[in-house]
């Protein structure tokens, strides 16, 4: 991965894209470093695909600039930029064999037949389809088609690989498998890669850095851990993973009043007393074991319902005294057994201050 301090490989400055009166991208700036795997994450319509297509030159931005490898490519058509792309539909040419699809870009570069043949077999071996050259796309499974599309994009050794929701047309199982392969391949080749997805799990699993987008602006850029642990906005907190949102107000330095109780919150980000605050905690961060008298931010709750989710169960909790403070917390199956948790029972839980984050409302 690129070291901070190196000049970025891709530098996006103040990019805005309008379609008529609709603003799809609003003053977006971003740096991508060489050999990095960056994922654009967001709900549909957030501008992530628009940004990718602007980088490719397929839908050129209304204003703003893009530099790639030190070259200003802002106004250039796709054919004069340096990238390979895989679309959600793969866009494989159905009337050409796998070999011809992969070699499609090589023929125009004046490579000899032998060179093309060697390069194509090398690429097919790389994506794990060494024997499928003679087949047509319609004879391949979705996952295999995806690999062929990847091989075709890599054939011309582009400086930048763009992936537009490449896994979303596949079955869940194939998707997980291909996800790992994609990551390994990217590491091996060291190619700078940008992928667009709406699947947060995919983003967390693949990315070196995640760019979370919403309504045409970037909400947060960070490593998967940062995005998950320290979401920069309620939107990011809600979109990535599951999150409890508790409405309250800052009462004094470091303390927030929620439903008649006061909680210590570490991540208060200097909000002044009196400010309305939205306090967040992930279900798995709610402390359910070893909560003793004197544990900070403890409260007694009643289990309302339990949702069995395989290796753990997600419980809906309400304070025993009836205060308004609905919580969702995860219980491991072991814990469930040990504590004999079932709907109706009461137990103490705590909200660790270092796991609480607050946003102004």
Q: Which residues bind another protein (CB under 8 A)?
A: 14, 16, 23, 26-27, 56-58, 60-65, 74-81, 83-85, 87, 89, 91, 93-96, 104-105, 107-109, 136-138, 152-153, 155-156, 158
- Select 80 or 300, whichever has its Cβ closest to another protein: 80
CA torsion sign for 241, 245, 249, 253 is negative
We find the least distance from the C-beta atom of residue 57 to another protein, in angstroms, to be: 8
**End-to-end CA separation in angstroms for the chain:** 37
* Nearer Cβ to another protein (93/308): 93
CA–CA dist 245, 227 (Å, integer): 17
Instruction: Please state the closest distance from residue 108 (CB atom) to another protein, in A.
Output: 5
Shortest distance, position 232 Cβ to another protein, whole Å: 18
Q: Enter the DSSP assignment of 79.
A: G
Q: Is the dihedral of CA 255, 261, 263, 268 positive or negative?
A: negative
Q: Minimal CA–CA distance to 202: which of 222, 183, 229, 187?
A: 183
Residue 117: how many CB atoms within 10 A of its CB? Answer: 15
> Minimum distance between the CB of residue 52 and another protein, rounded to whole angstroms?
11
Query: 113 or 262: whose CB is closer to another protein?
Result: 113
Nearer to another protein, 71 or 230 (CB): 71
- 212 pairs with which residues across the strands? 41, 220
Q: How far is the CB of 2 from another protein (least distance, A)?
A: 23
CB 283, CB 330: distance < 8 Å: yes
User: Looking at beta carbons only, is 47 or 248 nearer to another protein?
Assistant: 47
Main-chain dihedrals φ then ψ at residue 75, nearest 5 degrees? -105, 0
């Amino acid at each position: 991965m690129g070291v901070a301090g190196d000049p970025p490989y891709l530098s996006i400055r103040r990019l805005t894209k309008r379609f008529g009166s609709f603003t799809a991208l609003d003053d977006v700036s971003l740096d991508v470093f060489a050999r990095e795997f960056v994922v654009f994450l967001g709900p549909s319509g957030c501008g992530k695909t628009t940004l990718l297509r602007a980088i490719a030159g397929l839908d050129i931005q209304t204003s703003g600039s893009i530099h790639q490898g030190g070259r200003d490519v802002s106004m250039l058509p796709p054919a004069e930029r340096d990238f390979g792309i895989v679309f959600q539909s793969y866009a494989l040419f159905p009337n050409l064999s796998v070999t011809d699809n992969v070699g499609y870009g090589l023929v125009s570069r004046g490579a000899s037949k032998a060179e093309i043949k060697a390069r194509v077999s090398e690429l097919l071996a790389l994506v794990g389809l060494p024997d499928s050259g003679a087949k047509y796309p319609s004879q391949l499974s979705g996952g295999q088609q995806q690999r062929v599309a990847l091989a075709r994009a890599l054939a011309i050794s582009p400086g930048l690989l763009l992936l537009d929701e490449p896994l979303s047309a596949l079955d869940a199982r194939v998707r997980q498998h291909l996800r790992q392969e994609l990551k390994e391949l990217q590491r091996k080749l060291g190619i700078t890669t940008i992928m667009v997805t709406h699947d947060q799990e995919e983003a967390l699993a693949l990315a070196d850095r995640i760019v979370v987008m919403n309504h045409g602006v970037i909400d947060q850029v960070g490593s998967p851990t940062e995005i998950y642990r320290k979401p920069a906005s309620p939107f990011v907190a809600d979109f990535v993973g599951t999150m409890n949102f508790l409405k309250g107000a800052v009462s004094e330095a470091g303390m927030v009043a929620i439903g008649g109780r006061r909680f210590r919150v570490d991540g208060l980000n200097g909000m002044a007393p009196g400010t309305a605050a939205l306090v967040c905690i992930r279900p798995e961060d709610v402390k359910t074991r070893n909560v003793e008298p004197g544990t900070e931010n403890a409260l007694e709750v009643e289990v309302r319902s339990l949702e069995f989710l395989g290796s753990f169960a997600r419980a809906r909790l309400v304070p025993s005294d009836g205060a308004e403070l609905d919580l969702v917390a995860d219980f491991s199956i072991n814990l469930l057994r040990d504590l004999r948790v079932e709907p109706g029972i009461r137990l103490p839980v705590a909200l660790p201050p270092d796991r609480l984050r607050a946003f102004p409302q």
